Structure 1
């Protein structure tokens, strides 16, 4: 298995755990902005410390940046903040499955944005594998128990949040790939940790200013739930490092496509924690996503 595939799967696993923790925080303690802020307030200092310790211990100079790094980092960081807020807002709405599925449109949009922004290309076989995986996502999302017509579910507020979140996650993924490639280092680890430290520091600072102006009390609420929020930060840091490392090795469309295994992880978590049964529809969705990931392993 190629390293970028292992990193993508690991990132999806960490992201599943993080979303579960953020869902809990948004339901019992924090607003959507607060639950998003919790992701950065506990991860940014650790990311910066790891980067500084690494370069201090290795004796290497901090790498420079080529043209475009700061633009990519700011665009990617801002897009990710907004996309995360959209995702957390979905946790409190009906039709959550449909909205969350539309976030996965990031897989398809990443192929388009990657071509436009970075010139990354996806082969026809790779695009076919991506489409198969997206079909699996749609199968997993369409709950027959929902009484409204399918087209009404697609134009619901939840679907709008999901679609916006998916587009923004696609932008952030491609921008992060651009930022990591702009770090003047030959080592994927160094590119990833430098980009991660700078981006999370920017996200922490920008969200702190936003909350200080709009809702200062929310900052204290985030700090008061440090036990759960701390795990959000740590899982976010681990997941982001895996995403960033994968982006240094492969284009964002392929990385996000493999990351669709997050839905399988989520389904397994639901079975283990809530003892729910898997339907034939869900088995079909899992099969399609598995075929998609296998195809990308073979054809990428």
Structure 2
């Protein structure tokens, strides 16, 4: 597998592009379905595609997967539940804020992972890393400020986006931990198996909640099955490539390279959604990119 580790780079780039498309589709469904309903479509409609991906990979490789090691379930639970929370917070932020600005908030995920590592794992922070964290934080503040307003133009979407990034960082670490517990098979089989089980768990959790608390949302989801199907496919497609990258390199590397998503989101928002991107927002995004770049270089 050593000579294939470079594949995490194209895997990450494909995953980033697919994620922008999925986020845009989910954002459009937040209105009719609500935050939880739009969150659920990526799991409910993504699971069948994940099973197809797993079946295709196992057929192509001729491999068979037994039940993974004991650490698989705890890591998977951590990754799956954190992703549900992170996705719901992300969509809530996008519903109240610019698509590009929310994406910029989400890109603080790498910064927060560095802070979590320092606090909980005693990871060493160099001067360059500290500088990167400060510069990127200034970038986040710059994108959130509104002319003529005192402080943040609206604190709620800012906090939603930042907390979404926190849960996404925890999710990435959890998924990589789960993938590494699938022994004796190729990285492709391990990644696709973990994705399928994760989506099954997430589908069961959110379906049970919605059926018990908001059955009307489930009905609305199936009424909008056509756009939901596409969002589900794009979600499973993007996640497969994320998981393949996680199988080959630490989650921090993947999430750092995934910053290209900010640039892809700018293009999507400007040309696809006709959203205006101000110079201040562009400057903020640039500072976030510079800050995370210093974080990695340090």
> TM-score, normalization: structure 1?
0.83
Q: Distance in 1 between matches of 2:85 and 2:130?
A: 29
Q: Distance in 2 between matches of 1:233 and 1:129?
A: 39
Q: Distance in 2 between matches of 1:287 and 1:89?
A: 24
3-state SS in 1 of match to 2:27:
helix
Partner residue of 1:35? 38
Of 65, 74, 90, 1:62 maps to: 65
3-state SS in 1 of match to 2:78:
helix
Partner residue of 1:20? 24
3-state SS in 1 of match to 2:217:
helix
Partner residue of 2:10? 6
Aligned residues: 294
Partner residue of 2:247? 248
Change (3 A) 1:207 1:213: same
- Which deviates the most, 216-225 or 60-69? 60-69
> TM-score, normalization: structure 2?
0.83
Partner residue of 1:150? 151
Partner residue of 2:143? 141
Partner residue of 1:221? 220
- 1:73 and 2:76 are equivalent in the alignment: yes
Q: Distance in 2 between matches of 1:272 and 1:45?
A: 31
Q: Distance in 2 between matches of 1:215 and 1:258?
A: 38
Q: How does 1:50-199 map to 2 (within 5 A)?
A: 50-56=53-59, 58-93=61-96, 101-113=104-116, 127=129, 131=133, 134=136, 138=140, 141-145=143-147, 147-150=148-151, 153=154, 156-185=155-184, 187-199=186-198
Superposed CA RMSD: 3.3
Alignment gaps of 5+ in structure 1:
none
Q: Per-residue CA shift, 1:215-250, capped at 9, x if unaligned?
A: 112111111111111111011011111111111122
Q: Distance in 1 between matches of 2:86 and 2:224?
A: 23
Alpha-carbon contact 1:36-1:81 (below 8 Å) kept:
yes
- Which deviates the most, 130-139 or 66-75? 130-139
Q: Distance in 1 between matches of 2:215 and 2:199?
A: 20
Alignment gaps of 5+ in structure 2:
none
Alpha-carbon contact 2:41-2:221 (below 8 Å) kept:
yes
3-state SS in 2 of match to 1:5:
helix
**CA positional deviation for 1:45:** 1.3
3-state SS in 1 of match to 2:64:
coil
**CA positional deviation for 1:19:** 1.1
Change (3 A) 1:5 1:131: farther
- Which deviates the most, 207-216 or 283-292? 283-292
